[in-house]
């Protein structure tokens, strides 16, 4: 079944189709275009998608949205970015099922993926979600535009780093269920304080459909602020957390020898016991939010529990693998996608539970504004509590943390990811647990890729 026909694209965007065609996917990055896709030629400050039309069609594109003349099959519009938004709105308008929106300072991508897995277990092939972390002003309409015609449940992640952004995105998504996972210091360079961050996250509730449900973290110090933000728009509000006052709460959360957690959750008068494959109390919180949303959507809670037990680690967000070194392997915990003070503390707590020597490769946390030095230095205590024997710190902003750790554990402060990987080659030993985490712009994914590729397995240099 075609995702979009040329006539439908033209109608949605007020554009003019050059010919009849049909597409099975949508992309705005020419590198991601595959056979049958619609290529949206976005024009930005640094590049122009129209330059890549030949490449997109060489890779199998079936049509394009453009704002200039071209010989390839296309729909011509005045503004391709506006057209992408229009196509997203049209996709949402033709979807008659349940839509769930997810935001939060931490945990939104993880919760979105866990929610997809839980719902897909009940409704296989009927659930659609945002891919990767496509959660901004281009990613959200793209994710909507990719939604198949027969989707019964859509799960969309929404992010922001300025006030007002979520208010716009939620009007595109128009969720029936809206989740805030947590409020924490993130993008603080653009906000006066955490209360302002909570207000910006609370904008997600403004797009709720009539009769909609708001899901709020009970344990958050900003709970009442979020509840107040939801009140004018939500017909029902559900809280989740560890405190006994939460509507959905964990009455037991026990770490298993495998690193997984055994959780008993209480939802009103009901109880559900399940194994949560992902380690850490932050994942217990994510799971409670997921169960609240599954229940609000009328899906099967027991099947959701099975899905949570079987979830694998997400690349850049907790995926684990063994990397070879002389004499054996090291455990790598890949948290390289992003970082803020709250997520740093959470993943260091996970590292603390691992056997063996602990090595932390930590990249600087960005967009923290004037308090950046304090936020970085404050990681010293969580690092020591995690029994980190060597802290390999990456980036200029890590200087205050390096100073705070001096004389308390081994510290190596380097400029970039490539240097960090080189230091690991001399540092790592069989049996180590290595945590890799930092803001995405630091590029620690290259360290993870190097570890996966065996870059630290210099057996000859180690005399083996």
Residue 109, marked binder: yes
Looking at residue 464, its pLDDT comes to: 32
Residue 110, marked binder: yes
Which two structure tokens, joined as six digits, stand for 55? 């490449």
CATH 3.90.190.20 fits 319-462, yes or no: yes
pTM of the model: 0.85
CA torsion sign for 99, 278, 250, 351 is: negative
Residue 266, marked binder: no
Looking at residue 326, its pLDDT comes to: 87
3-state SS of 161-222 is: CCCCHHHHHHHHHCCCEEEECCCCCCCHHHCCCHHHHHHHHHHHHHHCCCCCEEEEECCCCC
Looking at residue 259, its pLDDT comes to: 85
* Inter-CA distances, 284 with 7, 110, 217, 225, 254, Å: 46, 11, 12, 23, 10
Residue 268, marked binder: no
Contact indicator for 454, 324 with CB cutoff of 8 Å: yes
Looking at residue 455, its pLDDT comes to: 81
Residue 67, marked binder: no
Torsion over CA of 360, 366, 372 and 374, rounded to 10 degrees?
-20
Cα 203 from chain centre:
18
Contact indicator for 226, 220 with CB cutoff of 8 Å: yes
> CA-CA distance, 429 to 40, in Å (whole number)?
48
Question: Domain locations in the chain?
Answer: 4-80, 95-310, 319-462
CATH 3.40.1190.10 fits 95-310, yes or no: yes
Tell me the CATH class for 4-80.
alpha beta
Q: Which residues contact 199 (CB under 8 A, 6 or more apart)?
A: 163, 225, 229
Q: What digits encode the pLDDT tens for the residues 149-201?
A: 999 999 999 998 889 999 999 999 999 999 999 998 776 677 889 999 999 99
Residues lower than pLDDT 50 in the chain: 459-464
Cα 400 from chain centre:
28
């Amino acid at each position: 079944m075609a995702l979009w026909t040329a006539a439908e694209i033209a109608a949605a965007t007020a554009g003019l189709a050059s010919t009849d065609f049909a597409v099975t996917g949508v992309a705005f990055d020419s590198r991601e275009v595959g056979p049958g896709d619609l290529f949206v030629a976005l024009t930005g400050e640094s590049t122009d998608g129209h330059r890549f039309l030949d490449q997109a069609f060489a890779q199998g594109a079936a049509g394009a949205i453009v704002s200039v003349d071209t010989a390839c099959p296309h729909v011509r519009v005045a503004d391709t970015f506006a057209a992408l938004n229009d196509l997203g709105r049209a996709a949402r308008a033709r979807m008659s099922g349940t839509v769930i929106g997810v935001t939060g300072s931490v945990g939104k991508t993880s919760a979105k993926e866990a929610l997809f897995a839980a719902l897909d277990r009940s409704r296989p092939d009927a659930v659609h979600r945002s891919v990767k972390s496509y959660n901004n002003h281009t990613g959200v309409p793209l994710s909507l535009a990719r939604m198949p015609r027969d989707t019964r449940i859509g799960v969309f992640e929404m992010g922001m780093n300025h006030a007002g952004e979520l208010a716009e995105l939620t009007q595109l998504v128009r969720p029936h269920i809206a989740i805030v996972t947590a409020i924490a210091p993130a993008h603080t360079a653009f906000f006066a304080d955490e209360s302002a961050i909570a207000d910006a996250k609370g904008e997600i509730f403004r797009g709720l459909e009539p009769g909609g449900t708001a899901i709020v973290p009970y344990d958050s110090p900003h709970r009442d602020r979020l509840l107040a933000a939801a009140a004018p728009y939500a017909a029902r509000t559900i809280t989740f957390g560890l405190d006994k006052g939460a509507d959905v709460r964990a009455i037991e959360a026990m770490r298993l020898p495998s690193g997984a957690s055994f959780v008993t959750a209480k939802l009103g008068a009901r109880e559900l016991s399940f194994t949560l494959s992902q380690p850490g109390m932050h994942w217990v919180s994510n799971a409670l939010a997921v169960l609240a949303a599954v229940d609000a959507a009328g899906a099967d809670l027991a099947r959701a529990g099975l899905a949570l037990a079987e979830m694998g680690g997400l690349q850049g967000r907790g995926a684990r693998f063994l990397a070879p070194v002389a004499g054996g392997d090291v455990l790598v915990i890949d948290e390289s996608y992003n970082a803020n003070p709250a997520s740093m503390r959470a993943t260091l707590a996970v590292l603390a539970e691992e056997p063996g020597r602990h090595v932390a490769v930590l990249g600087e946390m960005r967009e923290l504004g004037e308090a950046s030095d304090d936020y970085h230095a404050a990681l010293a205590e969580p690092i020591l509590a995690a029994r980190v024997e060597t802290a390999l710190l990456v980036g200029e902003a890590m200087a205050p943390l390096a100073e705070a750790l001096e004389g308390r554990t081994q510290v190596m402060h380097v400029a970039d990811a490539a240097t960090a990987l080189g230091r690991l080659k001399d540092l790592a030993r069989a049996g180590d647990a290595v945590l890799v985490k930092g803001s995405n712009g630091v590029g620690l994914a290259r360290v993870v890729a190097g570890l996966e590729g065996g870059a630290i397995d210099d057996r000859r240099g180690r005399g083996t």
